Structure 1
Amino acid sequence: MKFIADMMLGRLARWLRLYGYDTLYGIEDDGEIIRVALSEYRIILTRDSGLAERAEKLGVKVFILSSNSLEDQVKELKSLGVEFGELFPANARCPKCNGPIRPVPKDTVKGKVPPKVYEKYDEFYVCENCGQIYWPGRQWEEMLKMDRKLRGEK
């Protein structure tokens, strides 16, 4: 499944990327969202019933969400058949730009991450599009906590 999320669903879009879903976000114009969804066979994610109605009339698949809460939005998507399996980094996409993330040897990030980070960690990942570097630091631990919450674990 490939998605395009409207401007109300930025947090959800970033999380879908972490779960490996190709998810576009940041297009403000509803007509452009529909055009991209049609041309790239994407499912529109929205809370806007007007956008949903216009898109469906043109044959675009739409998942209309009712909740403001990330946790409830994930529950809604699960009920629509979206699976939330292994989180970052196994199949992840960059939460910033949607590019693929791949593991890289530690020596390739030397001088690109803070020296203390380079000393402390051996595991690094880089986005193939924007070059953002990721490692299993404090933010990673927070992501894993949220992942457990989203998947209904404690």
Structure 2
Amino acid sequence: MRFIADMMLGRLARWLRLYGYDTLYGVEDDDEILRIALAENRVLLTRDSGLAARARRLGVEVIALSSNSLEGQVGELKKRGLEFEELFPAHARCPKCNGPIRPVPKDDLRGRVPESVYQKYDEFYVCENCGQVYWPGRQWREMLRIGEKLRRV
């Protein structure tokens, strides 16, 4: 399932990406969101009932979320059959740009990460689109903690 999330759902969009869901986000104009959803056969995620109604009239599949919290939104998506099992890096997409993430040899990153990070870690991943580098540091551990909480929702 491929998604496009409206501007109210930025946090959810980033988490969907971390769980491997192809999720576009950042399009501000509702008409453009609808155009992309139709052209790319994406499911619209929104909390905006007016946008949801317009989308349905055009034949766009819509998941209208009611919760304002990330946990509540994930719970609603789970009820719709989405799975939140394998968190980054198994099938993840870049939380920043939605690009695919792949493992890279440590040697390929010398000079691209701080020397202290290069010395401390052996596991690295890079976004194929934007080049963002990821490693299992403090933010990674926090992400895994939140991911475990989301799995229990």
Normalising by the residue count of structure 1, what TM-score does the alignment of the two structures yield? 0.98
The equivalent residue for 1:79 is 79
Equivalent position of 1:3 in the other structure: 3
Task: Specify the alignment match of 2:135 in structure 1.
Answer: 135
- Separation of aligned partners in 2, 1:97 and 1:81: 25
Indicate the residue corresponding to 1:38 in structure 2: 38
1:50 corresponding residue in structure 2:
50
SS of the counterpart of 2:103? strand
Q: Which residue is equivalent to 1:124?
A: 124
Determine the C-alpha separation between the residues in 2 that align with 1:30 and 1:62. 13
- What amino acid is aligned across from residue 7 of structure 2 in structure 1? M
Partner of 1:113: 113
Give the CA deviation at 1:55.
0.2
Determine the C-alpha separation between the residues in 2 that align with 1:73 and 1:119: 39
Residue by residue over 1:32-53, the C-alpha shift from the partner in whole angstroms, topping out at 9 and shown as x without a partner, is 1011000101000000000000
CA displacement at 1:84 relative to structure 2: 1.0
1:81 Cα shift?
A: 1.1
Partner residue in 2 for 1:98: 98
Between Structure 1 and Structure 2, how many residues are aligned?
153
Partner residue, 2:62: 62
How far did residue 82 of structure 1 move? 1.1
Partner of 2:17: 17
User: Secondary structure in 2 aligned to 1:66?
Assistant: coil
Runs of 5+ unmatched residues, structure 1: none
Aligned twin of 2:146: 146
Task: Please report how far the alpha carbon of residue 68 of structure 1 lies from its aligned counterpart in structure 2 after TM superposition.
Answer: 0.9
What SS is found at the alignment partner of 2:142?
helix
**1:70-97 Cα deviation digits (max 9, x unpaired):** 0110000001111112000010000000
The 3-state SS of whatever aligns with 1:55 is helix
Tell me the SS of whatever aligns to 1:33: helix
**Residue ranges of structure 2 left out of the alignment (5+ in a row):** none
TM-score (norm 2): 0.99
Alignment RMSD (CA, Å): 0.8
- Percent identity for Structure 1 against Structure 2: 76
